[in-house]
Chain A
Amino acid sequence: MDLKSDRARVQAAILIYLLFCVAMNLGVWAWFALHIHGPHIFPLGGYRDRFSDLLLYSGKYQIWKDPHMGNYDNLNGTLCPRNYPPFAVMVYRFLLQVCAPYALPVMLVTMLGAMAVACTLLWRRVRRFESYRWYMGAAIFLSGFFGWGILQVVMRGNPEGLVWIAVCLGAMFFARRQYPGAAVAFGIASSIKPFPVLWFALMARHRRYREAVLGLVTAAGVTLASLLIIDRNPLRAWRQISGKNTFFTDYVVAFRPMGEMTADHSLFQSMKPSPVSCAIMDSTSLTRNTGCIPTIRSPGSCIWRTCRSPRSSRWSCSGGYGTSQC
């Protein structure tokens, strides 16, 4: 391939992207298939904890729920996910109560259907260009359906896929310069999980102050409506939800790793304490929620420990689905 023309460079780069993704995916799954009877971890995480982000909280029978799923912190059947805003609680209650026993299929069909629509729209948009080649379509659908993010969303049964739908709609409106629609979509997204609120900073950066305020009002309105549905007294509803909120104590004060966080790519992940230090803290009667002072570990020390002892650092640097005892 002659890389002197702009078109050839773009085509070659996308081909490299596609080949890398295909090779890595095939390699990992082939290795797992060849060693399926060995002690190898399922490539997407602990198999027994699959769909646990949704089904753990269900008190009703749900299809595809593993009966041996752990009851972490007595949350099983509470219908109230920890650390999520009120609208997310409403989404959980709708799925787990109204849609039971099909909560998971309903959520997955919604997310994967939205992904199919988004990939198809993108593919139809790009195939009109002269430089389009078939493998670009393959890259779109491969990233959409077999990308690490969507595989983890499906594996964990996490509502992040619903947040993604709202963010995707908002970004589409934003690109089309339909800013009020974008603001409403970002507002709904940030009432399920808070971080899409940063999109309003982007709106403000482009002097779209009115739309940014509209988005914030939408988020506040959706949150208030959710509180009112949960309880007629919104303050009581807030206390009911925030009583299960352990984000501050678990992640800010205690700064502890979670067992399921093999796949925590936060910048702060590599600074969290090792299971060994947590065990020491537990042995000195400091529970995980009391804000005990952990050993802070930098990414550099993580790499150094990996070189010295791969087995010990496996759990200290990247946790391990349901295996870290911290």
Chain B
Amino acid sequence: MLNQVFALACVTLVLPMVSADYTLILLLVPMGFFLIFLLEDVAQGKTPMSMVKILCFLLPCAWIMATEPLLTLHAVFKCFALLLLLAASISIPLPSTLFGETVA
């Protein structure tokens, strides 16, 4: 379910013909769910997850949320980060207690 929420947010952000950067605010919703998932499931050993897999989500999120200089390819890099996040959300399962997929 968390995978689907992440993927939905990424698709909503990269697929419109025009998607200005203020729409990135919508990514805060799956990021909030992901933080709960990390602390409730991963940190307590309910869902095993390697550091690399965690960073596959957090590093693109960090790039998207950080302020970068408004220079060349600024928006293209944000787009790449969103596509990476989309790929991670498709390929790395995130079964969470929040959505009733693991035992509380």
Contact pattern, B 9-40, Cβ under 8 Å of A = 1, otherwise 0:
00111111111111111111101110110111
Rounded to whole angstroms, the CA-CA distance of A318 and B13 in the bound complex is: 17
Contact pattern, B 41-58, Cβ under 8 Å of A = 1, otherwise 0:
011110011110011001
Pair A265/B99 contact, Cβ less than 8 Å: no
Pair B99/A149 contact, Cβ less than 8 Å: no
Q: Counting chain B CB atoms within 10 Å of each CB, which of A131, A143, A163, A255 scores highest?
A: A143
**Residue A136 lies at the interface, judged by CB distance under 8 Å to chain B:** yes
Interface size class of B (residues with CB under 8 A): 35 or more
Pair B75/A263 contact, Cβ less than 8 Å: yes
Rounded to whole angstroms, the CA-CA distance of A161 and B22 in the bound complex is: 8
**Residue A293 lies at the interface, judged by CB distance under 8 Å to chain B:** no
In the complex, chain B residues whose CB is within 8 Å of the CB of A12: 51
Rounded to whole angstroms, the CA-CA distance of A300 and B89 in the bound complex is: 25
Rounded to whole angstroms, the CA-CA distance of A205 and B33 in the bound complex is: 19
Q: Chain A's nearest CB lies how many Å from the CB of B23?
A: 6
In the complex, chain A residues whose CB is within 8 Å of the CB of B19: 264-266, 269
Rounded to whole angstroms, the CA-CA distance of A263 and B25 in the bound complex is: 13
Contact pattern, A 241-273, Cβ under 8 Å of B = 1, otherwise 0:
000000100011001001011111111111000
The answer to whether A167 and B29 touch (CB under 8 A), given A13-B38, A262-B75, A264-B21, is: yes
The answer to whether A175 and B98 touch (CB under 8 A), given A143-B31, A264-B19, A317-B72, is: yes
**Residue A41 lies at the interface, judged by CB distance under 8 Å to chain B:** yes
Pair A147/B16 contact, Cβ less than 8 Å: no
In the complex, chain A residues whose CB is within 8 Å of the CB of B68: 24, 28, 148
**Residue A195 lies at the interface, judged by CB distance under 8 Å to chain B:** yes
**Residue A144 lies at the interface, judged by CB distance under 8 Å to chain B:** yes
Pair A126/B39 contact, Cβ less than 8 Å: yes
**Residue A118 lies at the interface, judged by CB distance under 8 Å to chain B:** yes
In the complex, chain B residues whose CB is within 8 Å of the CB of A268: 17-18
Rounded to whole angstroms, the CA-CA distance of A151 and B73 in the bound complex is: 19
Tally chain A residues at the interface, Cβ within 8 Å. 91
Rounded to whole angstroms, the CA-CA distance of A195 and B45 in the bound complex is: 36
Q: Chain B's nearest CB lies how many Å from the CB of A142?
A: 8
Pair A167/B35 contact, Cβ less than 8 Å: no
**Residue A7 lies at the interface, judged by CB distance under 8 Å to chain B:** yes
In the complex, chain B residues whose CB is within 8 Å of the CB of A31: 69
**Residue B66 lies at the interface, judged by CB distance under 8 Å to chain A:** yes
Contact pattern, A 108-148, Cβ under 8 Å of B = 1, otherwise 0:
00000000001000100110011110001001100110111
Q: Chain B's nearest CB lies how many Å from the CB of A251?
A: 4
Pair A143/B65 contact, Cβ less than 8 Å: yes
Pair B76/A263 contact, Cβ less than 8 Å: no
**Residue B84 lies at the interface, judged by CB distance under 8 Å to chain A:** no
Pair B59/A20 contact, Cβ less than 8 Å: yes
Pair B5/A202 contact, Cβ less than 8 Å: yes
The answer to whether A263 and B44 touch (CB under 8 A), given A21-B66, A198-B12, A318-B74, is: no
21 A-B contacts (beta carbon < 8 Å): A3-B51, A6-B45, A7-B43, A7-B44, A9-B42, A17-B61, A28-B68, A146-B67, A149-B21, A149-B27, A156-B20, A160-B25, A175-B33, A175-B98, A177-B100, A199-B8, A251-B17, A251-B18, A263-B75, A265-B79, A266-B15
Across the A-B interface, give the 5 residue pairs with the lowest CB-CB distance, nearest first.
Answer: A149-B25, A263-B21, A149-B24, A24-B66, A131-B43
